[in-house]
Amino acid sequence: MTVYNLYIFNKRGALLYYGEWNRWKHSGISQEEEAKLMYGSLFSLKSFVSKISPWDLKEGFQCYKTNKYKLTMFETPTGLKFIMNTDVNAPNVRELLQIIYAQVFVEYVVKNPLCSTQEPIISELFKSKLDEVVKTSPASVSKG
Amino acid sequence: MFQAGGNSDEGLFDYLHMELVSTLLQPERNPGIHLSISTMEHLGFSSGYRLVERLTREWPRFKDELDSMKFICKEFWTAVFRKQVDNLRTNRQGVYVLQDNRFRHLAKVSTSGQYMEAAPKLVVFTCGLVRGALANLGIVSVVTAEVSAMPICKFQVQIQRASA
């Protein structure tokens, strides 16, 4: 089980944070370009999913899978987006994203007067707490 | 799943304090509001002055200075920060050092050298708070804070003797 990388976007689509753990292939474009592409694709996917759905959706788009990886998105009511790429069988990624939001983002960004949700996060404490949560989560701990 | 740091009125105090700090740090974001470090200290002073009035209503008079300082470290700190001061030291000549090893206003900011330049602005309100509390207990003092490694904060209280 592995976690590949994590993107955090604010409601305006600005990349607040990018974290990477096990990523072997890079996109070949700049990180800024990649973030725009990611945000744009998800934006389209979201509207696609809600338009095509035969039912009224409560949550809308949540994840997609390919043969090699799974992308999970968690969006808060305030419009923050947490996007994580993991391997296909990683369990509870959605729960992990909620934990990252409630126990890392809220605690160390929202409660830090020196961080703003309009600018990229540079807090080292945030980064180290995030690493800790991701590394101890069931999504990245192998089952042996 | 969604665990808040504590109960809601604590959160409110944190956010209000954060807004004060960010008004200090980024005056350009709040045009028309002129807040300086000394104004912030004064806000703390009057809050502490009022707060201690309410906190001591069930208490007998304090025997001496040390007794009052112990009150600040235990009851006062618990009322404001939900914990006690970790260490109290004195040279018995009117200088007391209160050490908080996980000071609330620094704990979410950094555990390294990062953001050190903002530390004075994060602790100045509390300096005023302590000074105000002591003032209402009849002790005139100067309170300064020293942050050498976040989130540890040392508050130094220097008692001003009337004769001196």
Instruction: Measure the CA–CA gap between A133 and A56, rounded to whole angstroms.
Output: 34
Inter-chain touch B112–A124, beta carbons under 8 Å: yes
Residue A130 C-alpha from the chain's centroid? 12
Instruction: Give the DSSP letter of residue A111.
Output: T
Please check whether residue B15 is in contact with residue A112, taking contact to mean a CB–CB distance below 8 angstroms: no
- Name the pairing type of β-strands A81-86 and B95-100: unpaired
Residue owning tokens 């330049």: B117
pLDDT tens string B62-92:
888 899 999 999 999 999 999 999 999 999 8
What amino acid is encoded at A59 in this protein?
Answer: E
Listed residue (B73, B72, B64) closest to B92, CA to CA: B64
pLDDT tens string B101-149:
999 999 999 888 888 888 888 999 999 999 999 999 989 999 999 998 8
pTM exceeds cut of 0.90: no
The per-residue b/e assignment along A12-21, b for 16 or more CB within 10 angstroms, e otherwise, is eeebbbbbeb
What amino acid is encoded at A52 in this protein?
Answer: I
User: How is chain B split into domains, by residue range?
Assistant: 11-159
Over pLDDT 70: what percentage of chain B?
92
pLDDT digit string (tens) for chain A, length 144 residues: 688 999 999 999 999 999 988 888 888 898 889 999 999 999 999 999 989 999 888 888 889 999 999 999 999 999 999 999 999 988 888 999 999 999 999 999 999 988 888 889 999 999 999 999 998 887 776 554
Q: CB pairs below 8 Å between A and B: how many? A: 47
Instruction: Measure the CA–CA gap between A85 and B164, rounded to whole angstroms.
Output: 67
Instruction: Measure the CA–CA gap between A111 and A105, rounded to whole angstroms.
Output: 9
Nearest by CB to residue A111, choosing from B3, B5, B110, is B5
**Reported ipTM exceeds the 0.85 cut:** no
Please check whether residue A80 is in contact with residue A17, taking contact to mean a CB–CB distance below 8 angstroms: no
Residue A77: cis peptide before it, omega within 30 degrees of 0 = no
Task: Show residues of chain A in contact with B123, CB under 8 Å.
Answer: none
Instruction: Measure the CA–CA gap between A54 and A42, rounded to whole angstroms.
Output: 20
Question: In 3-state terms, what secondary structure has residue B118?
Answer: helix
Question: Domains in chain A, please, with CATH?
Answer: 3-136 (3.30.450.70)
> Which H helix or E strand runs over B124?
helix B119-136
CA-based nearest residue in chain B for residue A128 = B111
Task: Show residues of chain B in contact with A123, CB under 8 Å.
Answer: 109-110, 114-115
Considering the domain B11-159 in this protein, what is its CATH number? 3.30.1380.20
